[in-house]
Structures are given as structure tokens and as C-alpha cells.
Chains A and B, each alone.
Chain A
Amino acid sequence: MHELGVVIDVVHTVEEFARKNGVTRIDTLVLQIGELSSMIPKYIEDCFPAAVDGTVMADTKLRIEVLPGNGLCGKCAKAFNILANEGACPACGGRDWEILSGKEFMIKEILAC
């Protein structure tokens, strides 16, 4: 369980961003989490209330967008979802691939005024 420490870090970053940009109220925070990241969206949601407690984000809603874990086959150059295909290229069966996306953990944007 490493989500809490990371979410507290996220809250600090967003607070800092809000301060610099003169934002007083943050309605929604949007995070992007890759399918291949070690961050589990459910755990992030669970610890979010604890991380924002007592901050300017206490009433902020959290929205998580999941980014697909896609790979590029090293043999036949087909792009495919690594998880859905259990790590094997659906075209040639190759297991030698490069990750195209899915490791991300990004603070995408905030809805604010």
C-alpha cells in the first residue's frame, strides 16, 4: 500500500499550482493512471479523503482516467493491449514488445474557479 504517501504528494503539488494560479476553489481533480502502473485506482480513491482532509481540497472531487497498457510487437510491429492479450501479440504470438503507454501516473487537470 503505497498510495497514501503518493496521494499526499499529489495534493501538495495541486495546492502549489492553485496558489500560483490564483485558484481559490477546486471542484474536481483529474488524475490519469496507466493500466501498467503500480497505482491501483481503487486504493487512490480510498485514501483520497484522508489526504485532502484539512486542506483547501477537502471538498474537491476526484476523477480518475485509466490509460490503456499498450505495447508494440518487436517482431511484427503490431500495437496491442498487453493486459487483454496476456502479454502475447495477437497477430504473431510474440512476447518481445515495447511499452507504448500505460506506465503513467499524471495529474491531468483541475476544474476550478
Chain B
Amino acid sequence: MTKLAANGMKPASGKSSVLKKTSKRSSQPNEPGAAVLRYKGSKHFRQRVVCSVLSGRAIRIDDIRPFPTTTDYQEEVQMGIMGHEAAFLRLVDKLTNGTQVEINETGTTLRFKPGYVTGGRESHDCGTSRSLGWFIEGLLPLALFSKTPFNLTLSGITNDDVDLSVDALKAVTLPLLKHFGVAEEGGLELKVKRRGAPPGGGGLVEFRCPIVRELKPIDFTEPGLIKRIRGNAYCTKVSPQIANRVAESSRGLLNRLLPDVWVHTDHHAGRTGGESPGFALSLVAESTTGVLLVAETAADKGTLPEDLGNFGSKLILEEIKNGGCVDSSHQSLAMLLMVLCPEDVSRLRIGKLTRYSVTYLRHLRDFFGAYFRLKPDPQTSTVLVSCQGIGFKNLSRGAT
């Protein structure tokens, strides 16, 4: 079924004229109710693929990095679809049935016709260009609307400074799903078997997710008061003392506000430590109404543990200051799930609307025709987000 044609990494500058042509053709705007959605540019790749699978609408993305550029990580020239994007497509392809993926020679154009999410037991190497959080975050909504429950073994980077880490996913993202009536009987879990820090990776996680028939609309507008802060400072292939130093320094600022701060330390060595040394901190603030806010940071080259801890605590304070019932990293996921609810109104209070959420909102409009009401609340400088679900049902699931 699947044609995963080419993962174009070749710098082929001669083709640019051809590409121009295709881009002209694709500059047709998306008409309301058009069958195939057309996009341009490399941004928001994951959003588009995920929305496409959920909505069943084919997409075509042109001009994916049409001109060669260099990146920070690798010194080689990058053009077209990148490693993690190809890996994500392969993973989606593994977990679906009937997906058609076509990528042109240079990797700058993608045609994606979604199939049915089948799920099941799969293992996948996610590479080292993006962390596992990027993959799992994208897969979560697909996992809910699958034919069989997901049981994935993914390998790659578990913690980095770009995406959500596995700790944050475990502590905040999965509990967020429970608000939507997911996994009331359990079955939703993320097990970290091995840690993997960038650039080498080598982490291994097990991800299980149950399926749902339909979601439950939410009314999640009371942020409550922060009652405790929990954290996880992990280190791998470095001195175990580093994690302690991170934990210790992260408490300094927070203890001025709240005594109930507890940061776990998690040291990995040997096989469970992955390929590269590294350490990171993720902090979770929990409120009286069950709100969970996460902030996290990972060490770069030459970062002092004390600085990292301090920085992490500032980040969580920033999140708390922004307020809202979900933190800035989880706005988009919550909004997607709100759209996928039955035809009832869901409400959510968020802090500042991030730029990622804004593009997500536009994609939700394109794919699902869903508009949100965004009501700023100047008193608390939060935003009340509400929408009517589109009556989404799990079409992949079999009935008896």
C-alpha cells in the first residue's frame, strides 16, 4: 500500500525552478470544504500530518525547505524533509493501514493520503534529530482513535531542551488526557527503560495507550492554588552528584513561595544511561484543582547544574505566573482534543496563547472547520478558550 518514495536529502539546487512551478500551482488557497488541503513550507509538519490522519483529509505540502540551509546540529547541508520528519512519517505509516505517502525526489514536496490507525505492537527508532517527546506528542491523539491500543517501543532521545521530555509526558500530558475521559480504567502508561541524552540518544521508552469511542467534553477553568511542586532531576553518564546539585538549586527560589517542593533525582549509568552524557530538570506544579503545569530544561554543553536548577525554577514560576489550567506546552494538545469532542461545548482556561497554539488553531479550522472562542480575561491575564466539538468518533474501531 505504502509508497515511501524518497527521503530527499540531496542538495539539488538545479531543481529549484521546477519547484517554483509546483509552488505556483499549490498557491491555490484552501477553499472551504476542499478535498485536498495544500500547504507550503516546512513548519508545523507534525500538526498537519496528525490533523490529516484524524480528519481523513489528504494533504499536500510544497516547498519543504526548498533551499539548502545548514543547521546547528549537523554541519551538513539540509534540504527537503528532515530525518525526524521522515521518521515520523514512517512511524505513522507503521501504525496505520492504507496510508499513502509520496515524497518527491528532492524531498521538498509531500503528498499524504491518510489511512486508518490500526495501532498494535510496534517498535521504532526515532533517530536523534528530535526527541521522543516530539513523536509521542504527535502520536497521542492518533493513539486514542485507533483500532487497537498502542503498544510502542520507541528509541531515541528521551530528554532534550527542544521538546517535551518523557518525564513531562508522564507527569502532565498523560494525566491531561484523563480530563477527556481517556483511560478511566487505566492502560495509559509511559515507561522509561533507558535514558538517552542528545546528541547520541539511545533512550528507550514503552508507550501504551488505550482507545476511546469518543471523548468527553471538558470544563476546565479553575486554576486553583498551587499546592505542591514536584520535580525530576535526571543525569546520565555523569556524576550522580550532579542531579543532587540540580535538585538542590532548583528549590532555592521555589522555597520562598512554597515549602512543599520535592525534586526526585534519577541517576542512570551503564546500559540504561544511553549513549551520551547529560542531565535535565523537569518541574511540575500541582494546584488544588488538579491543574498540572510543567516546565523543564536540559543541560547544554558546559551548563552548570546550579544554573540549570535555577533556570528551571524560573521557568516554572513563569508558567505559574501565566496562569491557566494547562501550561504553554499543552495548550495545543488540549485544544485539539476539545475539537475532537462530541458536539458539546468545552471550555479551558489557558495562560498566554503561544505561537504554536495559534497555528494549531488555524490548522484546526482548516481540517475540522472548528473555530474557537478566545476570550481574554484581563483580570487574570488569562484566556478563556471554548469551542464546540465536531462530534468526532473513532471510526477505526471495530464494532461487534
Do A and B pair up? The answer is no
Which residues of A does B touch, CB under 8 Å? none
Residues of B within 8 A of A (CB): none
